[in-house]
Amino acid sequence: MKMEETTIRLNQKTKEDLDQFKQYKSESYDELVRKLIYLARKCEKEPKLSQKAILEIKEARERIKKGEFYTEEEAKKILGL
C-alpha cells in the first residue's frame, strides 16, 4: 500500500516545541507525531502506567544527551554476544 503524504502548517513555536521531542536530528516529523499519538492513546488507556513511561522516556533522553549509553557493539561485548 502506497503511503500518501501531505503538508501541514505549524506555528513556528509549535515546530520548535516538536523539535524538543526529537530523539535524533534526522528523525522525521511523521515519526515524531506518530510517537506522540501513541503516547496520547496510551495515556488515555493506562494513565498511571503512561505517566511512568513518559518519565522513563524523558530520563532516557537526558541520558542519551549526556552520552550515558552503550552502543550496540558495546552492549554485545558486555553480554558476551
pLDDT computed for residue 14 by the predictor: 92
Q: Provide mean pLDDT across the span 6-16.
A: 91
- Confidence (pTM): 0.53
Are 36 and 46 contacting, i.e. CB atoms less than 8 angstroms apart?
no
Percent of residues, the chain, with pLDDT higher than 70: 98
Residue 12 is classified by DSSP as H
Express each pLDDT in 17-32 by its tens digit.
888 888 878 888 999 8
Look at residue 1 in the predicted model and tell me its pLDDT: 66
